[in-house]
Amino acid sequence: MQFPVLSVIVFTPLVAAVIMLLIPADRKTEVRVTALAAATFALFLSIWVYFNYDVNAGGYQFLERYEWLPPLGISLFLGVDGVSAPLVLLTGIVMFTGVLISWKIDDRPREFFAFLFILASGVFGVFAALDLFMLFFFYEIAVFPMYLLIAIWGWKETREYAAMKLTLYLFVGSMIALVGALAMYFTSGLGTFDMLALESVNFSPEFQRFWFPFVFFGFAVLGGIFPFHNWSPDGHVAAPTAVSMFHAGVLMKVGAFAALRVAIMLLPEGAQAHMWWIILLALVNVVYGAFIAMIQTDFKYVIGFSSVSHMGLVMLGFASLTPQGILGASVQMFSHGVMTALFFAVVGMVYDQAHTREINNLGGFRFAMPMVALAFIVGGLVSMGMPGFSGFVAEFPIFMGLWNSYPWIAIVAAISIVITASYIIRIVGKVFFGAMPAQFAGHIQDVTVLDKVALVLLSGVLILVGVYPSVMVPMVQSGVNYILRLLGGA
Amino acid sequence: MFPGVIELPMILAILPEILLVVLGAVVLLVDLALPAERKTNLGWVTAVGLVLIMVVSLLAGLPGVQPQTLWGGMVRHDWLGFVFKMMFLIAAAITALFAMDLPQAGRRGEFYLLMIASTIGMCVMASASDIILLYLGIETTSIPLYVLAGFLVRDDKSTEAGFKYLLFGALTSTVMLYGFSLLYGFTGLTNLYDLAVRLSEMFFSGQMTVSLTGALLLVLVGFGFKISVVPFHFWAPDVYEGAPTPISGFLSTASKAAGFAVLLRVMLVAFPAMSAQWGAILASLSVATMTLGNLLALTQRNIKRLLAYSSIAHAGYALIGLVSLGGGLGVTSVIAYLIAYLITNLAAFGVVSAVGRVTGSDEIASYAGLSRRSPGLALAMLVAFLSLAGMPPLGGFVVKVFVFASAINANLIWLAVIGAINSIIGLYYYLTVLKVVYLYRSDDDDKPLPVTRSYALGLGILVLGVILIGTVFVPWFNWATTAASAMF
C-alpha cells in the first residue's frame, strides 16, 4: 500500500494541536517551534502531492478509504483531483506563512496555534474529502475555530460582533446545505455518502432544480456570494493577521470549492437551470465589491472588499459553466488565495508598526519597510490581472468563458479591473509612497526575517504561476475536464 | 404466570438492580465506619462500585439476541433496557465523583444512597414491560431525586427546588397514573406487550378512539414531565438552579434519559396503532420544546438556568428522532442522541460544579477569565458547549446529523429545517458563554482556580468520551441500532 499522504496531511495539524495543548502554557517558544515544525511538514507533503499528481492520468488520485460507519455508508474517503490538489498546496502555503507571521503573538499562543491548526485540519479535510459526510464534518471543523480566533485575538473594536456574525452566517449556510445533502443521500437510495457514487446517480431534474439552490447557497455563503457576503469584510478586518490570511485566503475557497464539488458536480442539471440568475449575483459581487473597496479608508477593509470582488470572479467562472470559465475560476481560487494572504500579511505588518489603518494617515512606508512595499505591489499587480502574474492566468480565461456565454456580463464585469487598479494604486501611492507623516518618522522598524521569508514565498508563488502557467494550468485543466463530463460536456 | 422458581436468567436480567442494592448497603456501612474527616471517600466508593457494577453487567448480564420477558411478564431483558442502564450507571458514577468535593453534600452517606436508589428506579424504568412496575420505577426514581434536589437545607434555593420538583412531580405522576388506570380499565391488562395487541384491536375496530386518545394524552403528561418538554418544563430551570450542581447534571441527563426510555418503549410497543396521533402530538411538542427552550436560553444570566433551557431544547431535538419513524433510522437516532447528550451535558454541569465550588457563583459573568485561571476547565467547557452546539469532531455533531437525517428520511423535511434553525440559535448562546470564558477578563485573572482530582478525572473521561463519540461512531452506533431493534 502506498504512503497515506492525504490523511497524514489532514491529521498533521490536528495532532500538532493536541501536542501543543499538552505543552505547559508558559513554554511559548516550544509551542511556536512545534507549530512551525508541523506547518513545514504539512507544506512539504502538500508540495509532494502537487508535484506527484499524474496530470496525464487525471481524475482522483492518492485515494485512501477507511470505513467509518458502514451501516450508513460513511467512510473516510480521501483523494485529490486537478482542482483540489492546488488548493491543498494553497492551504499548506498559507498555514506555513501564517505561522511565521504569528510568531510574535504573545497572548496565549498555545491556544492560538491549536485553534488555528484545528481549522487547518478542517480545510485540508474539505479539499481532500470524497465522502459527503466527511466533507461536512471537516467543513464544520474549519468554521468554528474562527469564532474563537477572531473573538479572542482579533481587533478589539469589532471582534465580538464580527466573530458572532461570521459564525452565525456560516452555520446557517452549512445547516441549509446539510439538509440538501441529506436529501441527496436518501433520494439516491445507494445508502452511501461516497461522492464518486453519488456523481453517477441521475437525480431527477425536479429534484435537482429544487435542491440545487439550497446546497449551492449553503456553501456559497462561505464563498462570500452576494447578498450573503456581509460577514466577510467584517470578519477579515476583525481577525488577527494570520487568521485573516486563512480566512480570505483559504476559507472562502472552501466555500466556493464545496459549492462546486457538491452542488455543481452532484446536481449538474440543477446548476444549468439556476446559473442564469446566480451569475447576476456573482456579477454584483465583482462590481459592487470593487466599488465598495474603492471608497474605503481603512486599509484592511479595502482588502476585505477586494476579496468579495475577487471571489465574485470565481463564482462568475463557475456560473458560466464553460470550460474556460471553470478553469479560470479554479486557478483564481489558488491565485487569489495566495494573493490575499499576501495582502493581509502586509496590512498586518503595517498596522503592527503604525497602529492605524487609516489610509490617509499613512505614508512613505517604502522607506521603512521596502520589502513589504515590494510584496504589496506584486500582490497588487496580481489583483489587477497583469500579464506575468498569476491573476492574469486566472482572470483571462474567466472573461473568455463569460464572453462565450454571456458577453454583456463579461463587459460589465471587466469594469472591476479598472476599479481594482484604482484602489490598488491609491494604496500604493498613499501608504507606501509619498512622505511619511511626522509621528511615524523614526518609529517604524522593518519587519523580521520570518516575515520576510513569508513575503518572499507568497510573492514568489504568484510570479511563478504567472510566468510559467504550465506549472498549474494543465493540472487544473485535467480536473475541469472531469467536471465538464459531469455537466454533459457543455 | 409466575412459576415460583427463580432461575439464573431472571437474576441476570436484574443484575444491575441487585448489585445496586448491594452497593447501597455497602455505602451505608462504609459511612458508619469512616471517620468524619475522611467521608469524602464515600464518593470514590460509590463511583468505583458503580463502575464495577457496569463491568460485571457487561461481562455477565448481556441480553441475548432474543429479548426475554421474565418475572411473570414484568421485566424485559433486552438491549434497549441494557443500553439505557449502562447510561444511568455512567451518569451516576460521574455524579458521585463531582459531588464528593461539595462541602454540604459530599460527606453525607445518605446523599450517595439516595442517588443509588434513584439509579435503581431508572434501571427498573428502562426494563419494565408492565405499567405497574413502570410506575413503581418512575416513583423510585423521582422520590430520591426530590430529596436530592433539596439536599442543601441551609440554602433557600435548594429547598425551593426540592419542593417545586416534588409538587410538579407528584401532580404529573398522578395524572399519568390516572392514564394508566384508564388503560387498565379499558383492557383489563397491564403488560405493555399484551396491551399493544388489545389496543390496536380496539383502535382499528373504532371502539373508544376518543377515550384511548385521552388516556394516551394523560400518560404523555407524566412522560413529558420527566423529559421536560414544553409545556411541562416549568420546573426545570428553577430546580436545576437550586439543586446541588452535580444533581442538576444527573437530573438533566440520567433522569431525562430514563424518561425517554419509557417514552420509547410505551409509545412504540403499546401504542403503535396510534402512532399517527402521538406522532402529531410529539412532533408539535418537539417544535415547541426546541424553540421555546432555545429562545428562553438566550436571555439567561445564570449558567445553570441556561443549561436547563438548553437541556429542554435538547429534549426537543431527541423527539425529532422519535416521531421520524418512517425509514427505520428514527429510534436509533434517538438513542444515539441520548448517549452523546448524556456524556456532553454531564461534562457541562461538571465544569459548572467545579467552578461554582470555588467561586461560589453560577452567574455567567463570573466565568470571565476562566481560560486564564484554569485552561483545563476552560477547554473542557469548550468541548462540552461546542458538542451541545453540534460541532464536529464532537459527539453532538454526529448525532444531530443522525436525528435530522432520520427526519428527512421520514419525509419530515420541515421538522429537520426547524431543528436546524434551532441549532443556530443554540450556537449563539453557547458561543456567548464561551466568549466570556475565553475573552473577558476579571480581577481574579491571576488566581489559579484549583481543580480537585475527582473533577479532573471525571471531566477527563467525559471530554475524551465526547471526542470519541464524535470520531469513532461504529461501536455505539451499533449499540443504538441493536437497542432500537430489540424493542419488539
The pLDDT tens digits for B33-91 are 888 888 888 999 999 999 999 999 999 888 877 888 888 888 888 888 999 999 999 99
A contact set with B (CB within 8 A):
21, 25, 68-72, 74, 108, 111, 133, 136-138, 140-141, 144, 147-148, 151-152, 160, 163-164, 167-168, 171-172, 175-176, 178-179, 182-183, 185-186
Which pLDDT belongs to residue B97? Answer: 93
- Residue B301 is assigned to a structural domain of this protein: yes
Instruction: Give the separation between CA A176 and CA A122, rounded to whole angstroms.
Output: 19
B413 touches chain A (CB under 8 A): yes
Indicate which of A23, A143, A144, A168 best probes the interface with B, i.e. most B CBs within 10 Å of its own CB.
A144
**List of residues 6+ apart from A15 with CB closer than 8 A:** A38
Region at A356 (left for phi over 0; alpha for psi -120 to 50; beta for the rest): beta
pLDDT in tens, A92-105: 999 999 999 888 88
Cβ-in-10-Å burial (0-12, 13-18, 19+) of A155 comes to: middle
pLDDT in tens, A139-187: 989 888 888 888 888 887 888 888 888 888 888 888 888 888 888 888 8
Q: Which of A363, A477, A484 is nearest to A428 (CA)?
A: A363
pLDDT in tens, A24-46: 878 888 888 999 999 999 999 99
Q: Is the pLDDT of residue A440 over 80?
A: no
Instruction: Give the separation between CA B20 and CA B23, rounded to whole angstroms.
Output: 5
Work out the pLDDT band at B2, boundaries 50, 70, 90.
low
- The CA-atom distances, in angstroms, between A374 and each of A423, B322, B462 are 17, 62, 52
- For chain B, report the end-to-end CA distance as a whole number of angstroms: 20
Residues of A in contact with B371 (CB under 8 A): 108, 111
Average pLDDT estimate for A328-338: 92
What is the distance in angstroms between the Cα of B94 and the nearest Cα belonging to chain A?
24
- Estimate to the nearest angstrom the gap between the alpha carbon of B134 and the chain centroid: 16
Indicate which of B294, B473, B476, B478 best probes the interface with A, i.e. most A CBs within 10 Å of its own CB.
B473
Cβ-in-10-Å burial (0-12, 13-18, 19+) of A11 comes to: middle
Residues of B in contact with A111 (CB under 8 A): 371, 375, 438
Work out the pLDDT band at A490, boundaries 50, 70, 90.
very low
8-state DSSP, A452: H
pLDDT in tens, B196-244: 888 888 888 877 788 888 889 999 999 999 999 988 888 999 999 999 9
Residues of B in contact with A163 (CB under 8 A): 435
Instruction: Give the separation between CA B57 and CA B34, rounded to whole angstroms.
Output: 28
- Written as nine digits, the cell of A390 is 498569476
- Contact (CB<8Å) B474/A185: no
- Contact (CB<8Å) A182/B404: yes
- Written as nine digits, the cell of B449 is 482556580
Q: Compare CB distances from B404 to A69, A137, A179 and report the shortest one's residue.
A: A179
- Give this prediction's pTM: 0.90
- Residue B121 is assigned to a structural domain of this protein: no
Name residue, grid cell 455543481.
A264
B211 touches chain A (CB under 8 A): no
Average pLDDT estimate for A459-476: 90
Which pLDDT belongs to residue B3? Answer: 57
What is the distance in angstroms between the Cα of B21 and the nearest Cα belonging to chain A?
38
Q: Compare CB distances from A69 to B428, B435, B473 and report the shortest one's residue.
A: B473
pLDDT in tens, B302-353: 999 999 999 999 999 999 999 988 667 888 899 999 999 999 999 999 999 9
What H or E segment, with its residue span, contains residue A291?
A: helix A268-295
- Contact (CB<8Å) A68/B375: no
Q: Compare CB distances from B391 to A72, A144, A182 and report the shortest one's residue.
A: A144
pLDDT in tens, B381-414: 999 999 999 888 898 998 998 899 899 888 888 9
Which pLDDT belongs to residue A450? Answer: 87
Residue ranges per domain, chain A? 5-486
B416 touches chain A (CB under 8 A): yes
Work out the pLDDT band at B444, boundaries 50, 70, 90.
confident
Which pLDDT belongs to residue B320? Answer: 92
Residues of A in contact with B427 (CB under 8 A): 167-168, 171
- Contact (CB<8Å) A71/B481: yes
Work out the mean pLDDT of chain A and round it to a whole number.
88
Average pLDDT estimate for B271-291: 90
- Residue B43 is assigned to a structural domain of this protein: no
- Contact (CB<8Å) B417/A179: yes
Residues of B in contact with A21 (CB under 8 A): 379
Work out the pLDDT band at B103, boundaries 50, 70, 90.
confident
Beta-bridge partners for A75: A67
Average pLDDT estimate for B358-371: 88
Instruction: Give the separation between CA B185 and CA B196, rounded to whole angstroms.
Output: 15
The ipTM of this complex is: 0.85
- The CA-atom distances, in angstroms, between A141 and each of A254, A348, B347, B404 are 12, 25, 21, 19
The domain total for chain B is 1
B408 touches chain A (CB under 8 A): yes
CB B192 within 8 A of CB B131: yes
Phi/psi of residue A18, nearest 5 degrees: -65, -45
Cβ-in-10-Å burial (0-12, 13-18, 19+) of A295 comes to: exposed
Radius of gyration of chain B (CA): 21
- Contact (CB<8Å) A21/B379: yes
- Residue B458 is assigned to a structural domain of this protein: yes
Which pLDDT belongs to residue A1? Answer: 56
- Contact (CB<8Å) B408/A171: no
The number of beta carbons lying within 10 Å of the beta carbon of residue A109 is: 21
Q: Is the pLDDT of residue A67 over 50?
A: yes
Radius of gyration of chain A (CA): 21
Q: Compare CB distances from B473 to A21, A68, A108 and report the shortest one's residue.
A: A68
Q: Compare CB distances from A151 to B372, B427, B439 and report the shortest one's residue.
A: B439
Residue of A nearest to B369 (CA): A152
Work out the mean pLDDT of chain B and round it to a whole number.
90
User: Which parts of B205-302 fold into alpha helices (H)?
Assistant: 209-226, 235-242, 245-250, 256-265, 275-297
Q: Compare CB distances from B420 to A72, A168, A179 and report the shortest one's residue.
A: A179
Report the percent of chain B where pLDDT is more than 70: 99
Work out the pLDDT band at A371, boundaries 50, 70, 90.
confident
Work out the pLDDT band at B482, boundaries 50, 70, 90.
confident
Instruction: Give the separation between CA A489 and CA B148, rounded to whole angstroms.
Output: 69
Cβ-in-10-Å burial (0-12, 13-18, 19+) of A280 comes to: middle
CB A289 within 8 A of CB A358: no
**Boundaries of domain holding B328:** 276-488
Q: Is the pLDDT of residue B445 over 90?
A: no
CB B90 within 8 A of CB B122: no
The number of beta carbons lying within 10 Å of the beta carbon of residue B414 is: 11
Phi/psi of residue B191, nearest 5 degrees: -75, 130
Residues of A in contact with B375 (CB under 8 A): 25, 111
- Contact (CB<8Å) B375/A25: yes
- Residue B111 is assigned to a structural domain of this protein: no
